[in-house]
Amino acid sequence: MKKFYPIILCVFLLLSFACNSDDDTTNNDQFYGNYTGEFTVTYNDSITYSNPVTVQFNTDNTYISSGNENNFPAGGSGSFNSNVTTLEFFDENFWTANFDWDLILNESYDYTKTGDSLVFSASKNNIGYYSYKLVKSE
């Protein structure tokens, strides 16, 4: 019986590692494609701005977000990553200082994804609530 202990231990360890799931990570490929929808920001003084927006998620884990002339939203592009509940954007652009930089698609957002619908939002810097409500267009 002592001969089988190392074998049993090895099998147990292999099964433990094989069955270990990391609940904090998500596969980014669920996002790949082009999305269209609406960006909305509601500031703490209840002033709200909304505009159409597009966000493209690429297979190399980069993104491109459209902007509007009034910077609602400002847009952005760079890399992204996800976990089970959070999308994180890393904008790689240089920006002027004449607007609310939280309008740039950057940093962490909580998200829900159901089929082709993707909603992500964040309350930022005690300034306002920033929300993207999108539908996959291709």
Residue ranges per structural domain of the chain = 28-136
Question: What radius of gyration do the chain's Cα atoms show?
Answer: 21
Examine the pLDDT at 19 and tell me if it is beyond 90.
no
Between vectors from CA 47 to CA 45 and to CA 52, what angle results, nearest 5°? Answer: 145
Mean pLDDT, residues 50-70 taken together: 96
Residues 6+ apart with CB under 8 A from 65: 53, 54, 55, 56, 73, 75, 76, 77, 105
Residue 86's pLDDT band, with cuts at 50, 70 and 90, is very high
Name which residue leads in pLDDT, 25 or 79.
79
Out of 1.10.3210, 2.40.128, 3.30.1690, 3.30.160, which CATH number does the structure's domain 28-136 have? 2.40.128
Per-position DSSP letters for 55-82, written without gaps between them:
EEE-TTSEEEE---TT-SS-BEEEEEEE
Could you check whether the bond before residue 73 is cis, i.e. omega within 30 degrees of 0?
yes
Mean pLDDT, residues 96-118 taken together: 96
